[in-house]
């Protein structure tokens, strides 16, 4: 990020959230409408359904410097496309195994189930997830996780 605003970009870990467009996204929306706050170092990427998520998207996030990745999906029985959440959970399990192998604590990968319109859940769970990442960051061994991926490729 350029100099001009880097001065107020905090040193907090960068966290990526992948959000399903339906229930989960409406939860994110309602957190806004109800003005419930959560940490600003989470940036969300919207998907049509969490079933659209590919393992590669998660790995790429870590590769690009994410300190944590969280998936925000609908309750499985309320998936707009029937099997999206289920599929995302498969990807989640796979991803956890892989990052573990790469030396990234699987705790850095989270999943939040968001019923339609529940801004309160979105805000509280995201806050909790950020806390968890911050705890991991404060642990010296956990530092420098990002290069592991690049290193592995070489």
Partner 1 sequence: MSKGVLVKGGGRAGVKAALELAERGVKVALVAEAGALPNGHDNSYEALRFTPLLLRAAHHPNINVITNASLERLHGEKGDFKVRIIQHPRFVDAAACVSCGKCEIECPVNVVSLTGSDEKHKAIHLPLLGLKSVPAAYCIEKSGVSPCAAACPAGVNSHGYVALIAQGKFKEALDLITESAPFPRVLGRVCNRPCEANCTRGKIDRAIAICALKRFVADNNSTEVSLKRTHDNRKGRVKPAQPRVAIIGAGPAGLSAARDLARMGHHCTVFEALPMPGGMITVGMPRFRLPREVRQADIEDIVRLGIEIRTSTPIGKDLTMDDLKKQGYEAILIAVGAHKNQKLGIPGEGLSGVVDGVSLLRAVNLKQPFTIGSRVIAIGGGNVAIDSARVASRLGTKEVSIFYRRTRAEMPANDEEVTEAEQEGVKLEFMVSPTRIIGQDGKVTGVAFHRMQVTDGESEGRRHTVPIEGSEFTVEADTVIVAVGQRPDFSFLEGDTTLTEGKRHIVVDQSTMATRVPGIFAAGDAAYDSGPMINAIGMGRRAAISIDKYLRGEPVAKEPVHARVTPVEVNLNNIYIPSIEPQEMPFLPMKERRGNFEEVELGFTPEMAMREAQRCLNCSGCSQCLECVRTCELDALDHSQTAQRYDFEVAAIIAGKDTVIIHDSELITTRHGIHLLSSSDADFTEASSIAAEITEELTKHGIESKPLLKEIQAPAIASPTGKPRLGIFVCGCGGNISDVVSITKVLGYLRNLPAIAYVSGIAYACTDEGSADIKYAVKKNNLSHAVLAACSCCNFDQICFSCADRRILCKTKLMEGDFNSTYYEFINIREHCVWVHRNNPEEATAKALSLIQAGIARAANCHIMTNGRAVIPVIAETKCRACGTCITVCPFEAIVLKENRNGSSVSKIDESLCRGCGICVARCPSGALQQLEFSDTMINASLAAILTKK
- What residues line the site for partner 1 (CB under 8 A)? 1-2, 4-5, 8-10, 14, 16, 21-23, 25-26, 28-33, 35-38, 40-41, 43-49, 51-54, 56-57, 60-61, 64-66, 80-84, 87, 91, 115-117, 123, 146
Contact 67, 30 (CB under 8 A): no
Helix ranges, the chain (H) = 3-6, 23-33, 55-63, 84-101, 119-138, 146-153
* Cβ closest to partner 1, residue 96 vs residue 145: 145
Nearer Cβ to partner 1 (101/115): 115
Distance CA 141, CA 153 (A): 21
Cβ 141 to partner 1, closest distance in Å? 17
DSSP state of 39: -
Write the burial class of residue 100 (CB in 10 Å: 0-12 exposed, 13-18 middle, 19+ buried).
Answer: middle
CB of 61 to partner 1, least distance (A): 6
For partner 1, which is the closer residue by CB, 33 or 101? 33
> What is the smallest separation between the CB atom of 48 and partner 1, expressed in angstroms?
5
Write down the least CB distance from residue 100 to partner 1, Å: 21
């Amino acid at each position: 990020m350029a100099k001009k605003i880097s001065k107020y970009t905090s040193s907090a870990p960068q966290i990526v959230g992948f959000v399903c467009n339906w229930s989960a996204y409406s939860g994110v929306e309602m957190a806004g409408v109800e003005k419930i706050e959560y940490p600003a170092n989470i940036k969300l990427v919207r998907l049509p359904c969490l079933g659209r998520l590919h393992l590669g998207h998660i790995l790429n996030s870590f590769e690009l410097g994410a300190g944590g990745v969280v998936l925000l999906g609908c309750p499985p029985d309320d998936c707009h496309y029937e099997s999206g959440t289920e599929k995302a959970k498969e990807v989640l399990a796979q991803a956890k195994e892989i990052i573990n192998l790469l030396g990234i604590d699987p705790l850095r990968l989270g999943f939040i189930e968001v019923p339609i319109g529940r801004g309160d859940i979105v805000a509280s769970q995201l806050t909790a997830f950020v806390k968890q990442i911050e705890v991991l960051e404060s642990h010296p061994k956990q530092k420098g996780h990002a290069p592991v991926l690049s290193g592995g490729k070489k």
